[in-house]
Structure 1
Amino acid sequence: MAEPTATEARPTRAYVIHPDLDSRTQRRQPEHALAEAVALAHALPGIEIVGNEVARLRKPDPGRLFGKGKLAEIGERLENAEVDLVLIDGPVSPVQQRNMEKDWGVKLLDRTGLILEIFADRARTREGVLQVELAALSYQRTRLVRAWTHLERQRGGLGFVGGPGETQIEADRRAIDEQMTRLRRQLERVVKTRTLHRAARAKVPYPIVALVGYTNAGKSTLFNRLTGADVLAKDMLFATLDPTMRGVRLPGANGGQGRKIILSDTVGFISDLPTELVAAFRATLEEVLEADLILHVRDISHPETEEQAADVAEILESLGVDEDVALIEVWNKIDALSQDTRDALRRTDARTQGIQAVSALTGEGLDDLVAAIDDHLSEVLDEPKSEGIVTLPFSDGRRRAWLHEAGVVQREESGEAGLTLHLLWTDRQKAGFEALE
C-alpha cells in the first residue's frame, strides 16, 4: 500500500494547557484565558485540538514547569489522546521545554512560539514577512535547544511545529546573528519605502483614522463596512496581520460629499504579546502613531471586554501613542447582545462623549459613528483656535472637569476669586462650555 502523501497526512493533534499560577493575582479568569489559547491554536492551519485544560500550579517547577504528579497525570491524558503537540499558554524556558518534551514524548510550543507561528502563516507583505522572521530569530536565539528550520519548512509557519530535520539540525548562534543582521538591513529598505509613501500621502493632507483593538474585535468587518473593501474578516484571532489602508469619503451635509479620510486597519492586539513582536511590528503600527483619530474597536459582547480594553491601552502606551490623540471607543458586536442590553448601550452612547455603540455586521449605529468621526476631525483639523480666559469658583468642579477633559486648558492659576484657566479652544468648544451654564 502506498505511503500517504504530505497533503493526505493527518493533522497535528494538539492539546492546549493554560497554567494557572494564582487566579487571585491575574487580571483575567483562567477559563477565559484557556478559551483564548484554544482560539489561538485554531488559528494555526493543520492543527486539530483534541483536548484542553486549566492546570493549576502553586509555583512553577524550574525544570519541568509542573510537579511530578501533575506531569504524570497530564502525560497519561496526552498518551490516551495520541497527542503530537502540546501548546502551553504561557512562557516556557528552554530547559522546561526540553524536559517536558522528553517526558511526554511530544513536541511542545509556548505562547510566544504559537503566536509567532500564526504571524508567519498570515504575513503577506514583504515587510510583514521580514518582521516575523526577525521576531522569530530573536525568539530562537534564546532557545538553542531547538533547531532553526525556517528555510526548510514545507508548511506555513516557522518550523517549530514540524518540518524536516527539526530535531537533527543544531541551531548556530553566529548563523542566527548573521541572518538577523541581513533581515534588519532588508527591513530598513522596506521601511524607507514606506516612509516615502507616507511623505507622498502627506502632500495630499487627508487625515488618518486608525482602527485598533483586541484581536477578533471586528476591526476588519468594520473596515469593510466603511470602505466597501474586501479585507479578510473571519471569526478568528489574527485574521488581519498586514496593515491595510483605504481612502474613504465621508457623507456630507444634506446628502452631499464630505471630507476624505484614510482609514487604516491594523493587526489585533492581544494580552502578553511577545516582546519580540512589539518591537518588530512597531513599523507596521506607525500609522497608529501618526493617526489624527484612533478608533478603539471593542467586542462589547465578550465577557472580558474591560480586560481586553486595558491590554490595548497598555500596548498603545508602550508604542508611544500620544495621549492627546483623539480616540473614539467603538463598542462593536451589539448584535450579539439582547435587545434590552443593546438599547441601554445606545443610551450610554448618546450620553457619553467618545463612545459609539455599533454592529459592524448589521450596520446598526454606523451612521452615528461616521458623524462622530467627522465631528472629531472637524475639531482637530478644521476649526481655528483662539485664546480665552475663564475664572471659575473653587466649587465649580463640573465645568473645570469639562474643560480639562476637552483638552483646552493651557495653564491654571489659583486666586482669591477662584481658579483662572487660560484656554486654547475652538468656537465649537467655547459654545459647548457656555451651554453648561
Structure 2
Amino acid sequence: MSPSSTARRAGALGDSAIRLRPELAPEVEDDFDGDQFDREERQALRRVVGLSTELTDVTEVEYRQLRLERVVLVGVWTEGTIEDAENSMAELAALAETAGSQVLEGLMQRRDRPDPATYIGSGKANELREVVLASGADTVICDGELSPAQLNALEKVVKVKVIDRTALILDIFAQHAHTREGRAQVSLAQMEYMLPRLRGWGESMSRQAGGAGGGAGGGVGTRGPGETKIETDRRRIRERMAKLRREIKGMKQARDTKRASRRRNEVPSVAIAGYTNAGKSSLLNRLTGAGVLVENALFATLDPTTRRTEAADGREYTLSDTVGFVRHLPHQLVEAFRSTLEEVADADLLVHVVDGSHPDPIAQVNAVREVLADIEAAQVPEMIVVNKADAASPEALLELRQALPGALVVSAHTGFGIDELRAAIEERLPRPALELHVRLPYDQGGLVSRIHAEGEVLSSEHTTDGTELHVRVHPGLAAALQPYAGTSQHV
C-alpha cells in the first residue's frame, strides 16, 4: 500500500501512549500510593465468552469487550497543529488500551472537515481496508463521534467492526463503574447513545429485514420480522431508560440530603477535579489515606469518594475525588453524571489537578474548564495543582509555572510538595463568620469538641471557672454558645 500525501501514519501508539518518563524530581520521599482496596477486583476483569447475540442476553459493552482486541485507529485532523493531532491520537490509543485492546496501527488524514459519508472519504476507506487486512485487525476505532450512517458506510467498506470515540469511552465507563449509582448512570448514557444506532452496527448486529421483501404477505404497510425486532428493542430500551432516570433521581435526592447535612453543620467541602489520569485519586490517598484505587489508566475512578479530614487547627472539612474529564466528553455522560458532578459545583474550593508530564497540559486545563462551565462550576474558587513532578522534566515544570501563575507543584507518587498543598488548602477554606469570646464550664466538654470540629480556636486559656476561648464559629454554633459568650462580632 502506498501512503497518500494527505494521510499521516501515527505509528504504533500502544504502550508508550500512557507510560510515564523515568526522570525523578529532586525531592523523593516514598512511593506509597495508598492501600487501593479494590485493585485485586479491578485486575480480575476477564474476557467474556459464550455470549448470545440476543439483546436480552448480551449488552453492547459485552459485545465490544469480546471484539475489541486488535484495533486500528483512524483520525481526521481538521484544525490545530500536527502535535495537537498526534496528542489526540495518542490519547485515543490510551483509551483503547484501557478498554483492553491491542493497538496495531494509527492513521491520520488532513481534511477541512470529516467526510459526511464515510468520515475519511471513500478512497481513504479503501486504503484503511488494506491496512486492516495487512495487520489482521478486527476493529477500527475513529477519533470522533460518527453518525449512524457514517458507521454503517465505513463498516461496509472495511468489513470489520467500526466504533467511534464516544462508544469507546462508554465502554470504559461500563467496565469501571461498580456502585449502583455509577452503573445506572453509565447504562443510561449507553442507551441514549445506542437508541438511534440500532441499525448502524453493521450486519453482525442488524435486525432489519424491511419492506415488501422482508416478511410473510408483503405489500404496503407490512413489516418483516427484522423490523419488528428493532421496534421491540427500541421500546424496551426506552422503558429501561425511563426506569433508570427515576432511579438516578432517587439517588440524587439521597446525595442532596447528605450534602445538605454537611451544609447545616457548616463543614467546608473541597472537590478534586481534573483531566483523567492526572493523579486525583493518588492525591486523595496522600491527603486522607482514603485507600481508593490508583491505576495508570484513563477513567480508573468513576464512583466519587468523599472523605472527612482535619485541618491543623482542628476544623473538619471534606475532600471529594471525582470522575476525570476528557476532551470531547460525550454529552450523554455529562447529562447522566450531572448529579455526581454537582459535588464539584457545590464545593467551597476546587483543587484542579494537572498532569505535569503530559505533552500538552494546557489543552487539558482548557478541556476541564469547558466541562466545569457546562456543569455551572466555573464560579467555584480554583486552585491549580501540577501533579507528577517526578515524571515531568524541569523545563516543562518551569513552563507550567509561567503559564499557570500561583500553581503548586507536587508529586502524589513520591509525596513531594504534599505538605505545602495541605497547608494551601487549609488556608483557602472558608472561615466561620462570627468571632466570640466565651467561658465554658468544665462540664461543657461537648461544646468544646464542637468548637474544635466546626469552628476555629484563636486562643484558649484554662481558669478556675472554666475554659476561656476566643473562637470563630458559624451562626448555628454561635447560638449554642450564646449563654457563655462575652463580646461577638462578624468577621
TM-score per shorter chain, which class? 0.7 to 0.9
Deviation at 1:10, TM superposition (A): 9.3
Distance in 2, matches of 1:143 and 1:5, equals 23
Match of 1:6 in 2: 49
Partners of 2:259 and 2:191 in 1: how far apart? Answer: 29
Amino acid at match of 2:420: D
Task: Sort the Cα spacing of 1:340 and 1:62 in 2 relative to 1 into closer, same or farther, 3 A.
Answer: closer
Say whether the 8 Å CA contact 1:346–1:357 is kept in structure 2. no
Partner of 1:297: helix, strand, or coil?
A: strand
* 1:309 equivalent in alignment to 2:359: no
Choose which of 268, 291, 304 in structure 1 pairs with 2:324: 268
Q: Name the SS of the counterpart of 2:338 in structure 1.
A: coil
| Corresponding residue of 2:411 | 359
What's 2:445 paired with?
none
Q: What is the CA distance between 1:80 and its match in structure 2? A: 1.3
* 1:90 and 1:110 in contact (8 A); partners too: yes
> What aligned pairs does 1:405-420 form with structure 2 within 5 A after superposition?
none
SS of 1:55's equivalent?
strand
Report if aligned partners of 1:146, 1:170 keep a CA contact under 8 Å in 2.
no
The one of 309, 314, 317 aligned to 1:248:
309
* 1:376 aligns to 2:436 (yes or no): no
Letter in 2 for 1:225: R
Aligned partners of 2:67 and 2:139 also within 8 Å? no
**Alignment-derived partner of residue 277 in structure 2:** 216
Partner residue of 1:282 out of 320, 324, 338: 338
**What is the Cα deviation at residue 6 of structure 1?**
2.9
Structure 2 residue aligned with 1:62: 116
Query: Does structure 1 conserve the Cα–Cα contact (< 8 Å) formed by 2:357 and 2:393?
Result: no
Counterpart in the other structure of 2:174: 120
1:322 CA displacement: 4.9
Letter in 2 for 1:6: V
Per-residue deviation, 1:384: 5.8
**Bigger CA drift: 326-335 or 264-273?**
326-335
Cα deviation, residue 206, structure 1 = 1.8
Alignment of 1:11-26 (within 5 A): 12-23=69-80
Alpha carbons 2:274, 2:324 under 8 Å: kept: yes
Q: What amino acid is aligned across from residue 235 of structure 1 in structure 2?
A: N
CA distance in 2, matches of 1:79, 1:363: 48
TM-score by length of 2: 0.67
1:327 is matched by which residue type in structure 2? E
Secondary structure of the 2:315 match is strand
Residue of 230, 250, 256 corresponding to 1:195: 256
Given candidates 68, 92, 106, the residue that maps to 2:160 is: 106
Deviations along 1:384-429, one digit per CA (max 9) or x if unpaired, are 69xxxxxxxxxxxxxxxxxxxxxxxxxxxxxxxxxxxxxxxx98xx
Partner Cα separation in structure 1 for residue 342 and residue 244 of structure 2:
19
Separation in 1 of the partners of 2:191 and 2:237? 7
Distance 1:221 1:84 in 2: 35
Partner of 1:153: none
Q: How far has the Cα of 1:266 moved from its partner?
A: 0.3
Q: CA deviation at 1:303?
A: 1.8
Do residues 141 (structure 1) and 141 (structure 2) align? no
Within the candidate set 160, 170, 174, 2:230 is matched to: 170
For residues 30 and 267 of structure 1, the distance between their equivalents in structure 2, rounded to whole angstroms, comes to: 25
Tell me, what secondary structure is at the counterpart of 1:245?
A: strand
Residues 305 and 322 in structure 2, CA contact (< 8 A), matched pair in contact too: yes
Aligned Cα root-mean-square deviation (Å):
2.9
Q: Percent identity?
A: 41
Partner deviation per Cα, 1:105-136 (whole Å, 9 max, x = no partner): 11111111111111111111111111111111
The 1:348–1:84 alpha-carbon spacing in structure 2 relative to 1, beyond 3 Å, is closer
Q: Structure 1 residues 48 and 206 mapped into 2: Cα distance closer, same or farther (>3 Å)?
A: same
1:83 has 2:137 as partner:
yes
Q: Which residue of 1 aligns with 2:220?
A: none
- In structure 1, distance between residues paired with 2:319 and 2:151: 42
Name the CA shift for 1:321/1:80 in 2 (closer, same or farther; >3 Å): same
Note the C-alpha offset of 1:225: 0.6
Give the aligned partner of residue 51 of structure 1.
105
Q: What letter matches 1:381 in structure 2?
A: R
Q: Relative CO higher for 1 or 2, CA cutoff 8 Å, sep ≥ 6?
A: 2
Aligned twin of 2:478: none
Q: Give the whole-Å Cα distance in 2 for the aligned partners of 1:347 and 1:50.
A: 37
In the TM superposition, what is the alpha-carbon distance from 1:281 to its structure 2 partner? 0.7
**Cα distance change of structure 1 residues 91 and 103 upon mapping to structure 2, 3 Å threshold:** same
Give structure 1 regions of 4+ aligned residues with deviation exceeding 4 angstroms.
339-342, 344-349
Matches within 5 A, 1:321-400: 321-323=377-379, 325-339=380-394, 344=398, 352-353=405-406, 355-377=407-429, 380-382=430-432
CA shift, 1:336, in A, is: 1.6
With normalisation by structure 1, the TM-score equals 0.75
Larger radius of gyration: 2
- The C-alpha deviation readout for 1:255-302, integer Å capped at 9, x for no partner, is xxx322110000000010111111111111121111011100001221
Q: For residue 204 of structure 1, what is the aligned residue in structure 2?
A: 265
- From 202, 222, 247, the counterpart of 1:186: 247
Residues 1:170 and 1:226: Cα distance change in structure 2 (over 3 Å): same
Structure-1 residue corresponding to 2:457: none
* Residue 13 of structure 2: aligned partner: none
Unmatched segments (≥5 aa) in structure 2: 1-46, 51-65, 208-228, 436-489
Distance in structure 2 (CA, Å) of the matches to 1:339 and 1:61: 42
Change (3 A) 1:329 1:384: farther
SS at 2:230 equivalent: coil
Task: Supply the distance in 2 between the matched residues of 1:348 and 1:94 (Cα, whole angstroms).
Answer: 44
Name the structure 2 match of 1:404: none
1:16 aligned partner, one-letter code: L
- In structure 2, distance between residues paired with 1:90 and 1:316: 21
1:202 CA displacement: 3.1
**1: distance between equivalents of 2:107 and 2:386?**
31
Local SS of the residue matching 1:284: helix
CA distance in structure 2 between the partners assigned to 1:348 and 1:384 by the alignment: 38
Matched, 1:93 2:181: no
Listed as ranges, the gaps of 5+ residues in structure 1 are 148-159, 253-257, 386-425, 428-437
Q: Tell me whether 1:35 sits opposite 2:79 in the alignment.
A: no
Contact 1:63 1:99 in 2 (8 A): yes
Matches of 1:10 and 1:277 in 2, distance apart? 23
1:138 CA displacement:
1.0
